[in-house]
Copies of this chain bind each other. A is one copy, B any other.
Amino acid sequence: MARAATTADVFNAIAEPRRRELIGVLADGKEYAVGEVVVRLRMSQPAVSKHLGVLRKVGVVSVIKRGQHRMYRLNAAELKPVHDWVKMFERYWTHQLRQIKERAERKALERIISSDSGTKSGNREE
């Protein structure tokens, strides 16, 4: 099997740096025409259109026609799955002092345990 499509889910869609930049432009919640994004990011127009297309397929942006322009708007709620997933690890870098303390305690505990029964690399249950 090949790599999953960029349009497979939000995680794949935002893996591309240019697309994150794109989202960054739309981050103020206002709507932008393709041409505006082209100017701001100094990308080619087809590139912008394609990237916006990917983001639209996963729902991260939405479009409405207005005259000859297509106005793109961020649909930030679609980024929530990413936030939810990575939030699980928040505690690893917040509260640095508490974290350092806990790590020290854990190491001390490991020392005590390993001076106990040996190295058999036991079956960590199951």
Measured CB to CB, the residues of A under 8 A from B are 3-4, 6, 9, 11-12, 14-17, 20, 27, 29-30, 32-33, 36, 39-40, 66-67, 69, 76-77, 79-80, 82-83, 85-90, 92-93, 106, 119, 121, 124, 126
**A11 nearest CB across to chain B (Å):** 5
The complex is assembled from copies of this chain, and their number is 2
Are the C-beta atoms of A66 and B12 separated by less than 8 Å? no
Highest count of chain B CB atoms <10 Å: which of A16, A86, A106, A119: A86
Known contacts A66-B119, A67-B121, A69-B121; A88/B3 CB under 8 A: no
Residue in chain B with minimal CB distance to A6: B3
